[in-house]
Structure 1
Amino acid sequence: MSWSATELGVLERAVNQSPSVSPTRPWTLAAHGTVAELAERRDGGLERDRLLSCGAALANLELAVRALGWAADVTLFPASGPADLVARVTAAGPEDAASAEVEQYSAIFRRRSYRAPFSLHPVPEPLLGSLAAAAHGTVVRPLRAPEEFAVLAELLGHAATVLRDDRGYQRELTAWTARFPEPAQDLPALPWTGLLRGGGRLPDPAALTGRLRREGLLVVTTDGDGPLDHLRAGVALERTWLTALTRGLVGSVLVRPLHVPEVRARLRERLHLPGRPQAILRFGYAVTATPARPAAAAAVGSQ
């Protein structure tokens, strides 16, 4: 048998809703029979960013196959096929999707990057831990200790200086830090404290550290740093993000700071990460939302 036109539409819509940390959508989707193939477009951006994006698209593709009622047989970088083929997903037979998979599939179409500051209601610690556990096969490490947030604040500030001409990153920082108070006058100034390009203000270290402590932050890490690691990191990134949405959170992903080699190396060293950092995930509650604390706690405890 072959995919029906309706099924093909489901697969295409899910893949097209994938987040991309590359300037474009660096993937193509082709289907024949009951096989869907995801290939990498190599015409722009860094290879690591392209493969992270392809991994996110693969996560959505697999969820769409499961939502259609099929078991999904996934092969990464198949030996048979063109060099740009990153994954082959085969419908291996009828199989009902698990309720968590259905929820994640539905969340695909609600996922948006939330760049603004979150509400002051923190992400409960058990919920943060459950998000870290949602990425099978890749280590997603939550930040918990106060000194970890200070380290991240320092390194994000350094990245802002190095990437001062990166318009995309500067816009992202401006949106994220829009509600920070003015820098305190009694704190020592650092080289990166001050105005961003376009008139935004980067907060002082103490203010940025305080903001980070109120966010749910996780670092996606991998043992290696090759194409397979990058692809798997993208799958983990998207699975974690979709799980967060099913728990009432919003979020975004930070990748550009890790383009700075010393930031990436120091992050791993100073946070004692189990592997190489590939992406930073930030989660919280939207400012317009008023989450019910007892209900959130009960949902976490029921897992």
Structure 2
Amino acid sequence: MAHISRRHMFQLASGAAALAASTSVVPALAGHHKHPFFQISLAQWSLHRAFKNGVAKPENFAYIAKQVFDIRGIEYVNQFYYDTYSDTLIKNLKNQADSEGVESLLIMVDREGDLGAGNKKERKLTVEKHHRWAHMAKALGCHSIRVNARSVGSYDEQMKSAADGLHQLGDYCDKLDLNVLVENHGGLSSNGQWLAGVMKLADHPRVGTLPDFGNFVTNWETGESYDRYKGVAELMPWAKAVSAKSFEFDKNGNAVQTDFYRMMKIVKDAGYKGWVGIEYEGDKEGEIEGIFKTKALLEHIQKADS
């Protein structure tokens, strides 16, 4: 199966795997080998350059996750399937995931409008645009779709509008036994206190959060950002998935921008048990190398916790 320019991909992967294996990550391991509280998944966005420049095909994401990275849980990104969406595509994605023994976890949905749009008509339209991705997620066996809570107006107005749109989508997805998760993804959604308020106001069992370790810039023009550790702690009570965002690593294999040990302690202390998705977004090293380094770091935390 010539899925990706396999020879090229595996050459890169083997080199990156060796590098990750040889990297010394601190602090030292300890413990008595109990089952870790989280499993490691892979967000498709980690390979967005490879998919966009044709090195890899989005349709082969499950194959790549398992065969290249030995990861058995995946998080799709709807942008890669806009032009190819069909029943046949969904069937093929499902068949490949099943054949690889990979679990489809969620679909990250972007570019379908603002769930917190300023008027009811726009919010209703946005909710409807999410329906096809909800049905795709259901067909693939996912537990959730990940959405955005963008809005307009004052702090309180945006909170009310976002909560309304999320509640509507939560009602629809409830019929599909599917969750609707909001990621901190810019603007007020990157303000942990605001998004926690949206969750309380939406007050829906199907509406939750997907805390991302790195998306806490609230104003790109000024560079203003929210404290990432405080923000993740505020979002964890509603978390049904977690995104381990990474950009860059030091010589010991630790993430430069985020203390993964501190962050994962916040995740654990919240009582979370589930998947933690690798989302590498750096540009100082290749995507494959970045994924392997993030995986090695998370595996080290798993062992330290066991």
Q: Structure 2 length as normaliser, TM-score? A: 0.30
* Structure with a larger share of its residues in helix: 2
Query: Which structure's CA Rg is the greater one?
Result: 1
